[in-house]
Chains A and B, each alone.
Chain A
Amino acid sequence: MSHTPTYYNSRRQQSFSRNQNTTRFQSAIKLGPVAHTVLVALMITVLGLIYVTQATRTTGYDYQAQKIDSQIAELNQQKSELEVESARLTALEAVKNSTVAREMVKPASTQYVSE
């Protein structure tokens, strides 16, 4: 079976006889209700897949966030340990027992200079 294309003459073509390739295509293929249903189902599936992909990506971020949280906790713990060590090293008892302190002598007397 053959069919004849129907040409569409735009107003511009009518006026200037240009744009000769401008056509209005009318498909001879008709989509029935089954095809429509399948297409809609396919579209829903694609949209669903897109949603699932996005949700999975979000979950991926959750894992990254969890990993970063763990790193922060680990670093905080190391920081705390260093602070404790620093406090121990600068504790009065440690300072008193340091070699520098041991070589110090008590002043015999204290003098104040008045202005």
Chain B
Amino acid sequence: MYRYDEFDERFVRERVAQFADQVARRLDGSLSEDEFKPLRLKNGVYLQLHAYMLRIAVPYGTLNARQLRQLALIGERYDRGYGHFTTRTNLQFNWPKLRDIPAILGLLADVEMHCIQTSGNCIRNVTADHFAGVARDEIEDPRPTAELIRQWSSGHPEFSYLPRKFKIAVTGAQEDRAVTRAHDIGLRLRRHPDTQETCYEVSVGGGLGRTPMIGKVVRDYLPKKDLLAYLEAILRVYNLEGRRDNKYKARVKILVHEIGAEEFARRVEAEFARLDGPSINADPEEVARIAAYFAPPAYETLPAVSNTLEAARAANPAFARWVEVNTTAHKVPGYTAVTISLKPAGQAPGDATSAQMRTVADLAERYSLDELRVTHAQNLVLPHVRLRDLPAIWRTLGEAGLAEANIGLVTDIISCPGLDYCALATARSIPIAQAIQQRFADAQRQREIGPLGIKISGCINACGHHHVGHIGILGLEKRGIESYQITLGGDAGENAAIGEILGPGLAAEEVPAAIERIVAVYLAERLEAESFIDAVRRLGLAPFKAAFQEVPRAAA
């Protein structure tokens, strides 16, 4: 894992001191709210419905035990004993007091964490594949790239006031687990077919929100050494030409859409050619220094099969089921990556109590080489687990209410906080997620349905990624009540697609039955071993639309 050097440390400490001073000036009235708001947003402080909210960056979703324990402590000391993991792999506290935020930022700096650039019109926290470094389908670990971008983009003077926010995701794997095509810039590490050299495929102009777009590839094989200069060229074109007159048309996706991907790429290449590459690109020594932090940890040499694990599986079907659903094949024999579901029935998706955070921190320290990950699907990962340790981990997770075996299934729902917390929301998300979880609680049924991603957003800004949900749910307000629009056929992976609207909005209580009907069409029509999304692609929308129209409506 990356460790701060003296520059990182100083940068973060200086920012804490600066923001503490800004808070003091706000409290003594020297700064008005209009003056203070952009400053607090630069430091992750929002004002939500019931309270302030603090968004803490978890760069590329990587944490160690000490950091997670510190988050648990902050949750207990300054919040209400829980936090919410987000689709940008960040952690949000829902109840901090403004007067306490400088102290909280100090505690974060103690464990090399901060809230810088988790909001505002700047380059946001860079996300990556949550199985980085361990996935079998990976060409190269994306985290050194993500860390390099974090360093380059932190406090970047030219890109601190972009037309709008800017999100970057990196993957090094075949399967896209980082939703790269729904990002302003998506980077995919791949080998050049001729030279076998590792390069980046660069896509630009993806994004969700009110105008969802899938990113367009503007460079097929960017040499790794040119990364920062190329990013600088993209950001410069966007910064100069992106719209500032209309917030809803200010994201780079609109610029790419309006002038076309080819023209956008041409302008980027022209800018790239003008830039003094060597003065912008990272020094190879620095790149190597960063990469060294992500070198594989000291794995043991283990047999590929663990007799302890196999015996436990044979003896306990519930455990066997959890292993089947919540673990992922690891690069190294004898190891596995465990995904801990933060979606137990009845809980808000992505919420974890301080006690649960401590349990997970202890497990990471004891069983996962002191490392864990946050996923964009709002779950946690223990990336380096010996197969033989799975029974002990499962027992401990069970005691903490964290042993739900539902990763990738119908109850593993992505949900934004919605109108239960968020000032921008137009409808609630969490109770919808809970109602669907309840409806599909039966484990056998979930298994029968197989992989199915439901994603819920409480407003058009789409923090809950509903556009790329196999089934997407968007909460809106319609004539003074909450109304939910259902989309079908979205995909967050390498075959990224935006879902299509099935029909008129539904009342909250009608949503579970509608999902039920959609699932019933799939179960009736699917071919042998055909997944939900594959069936939707093959069948098209028509049979689902027909079933959707038969959903009984409370009101006309």
A binds B: no
Residues of chain A touching chain B, judged by Cβ–Cβ distance below 8 Å, are: none
Residues of chain B touching chain A, judged by Cβ–Cβ distance below 8 Å, are: none
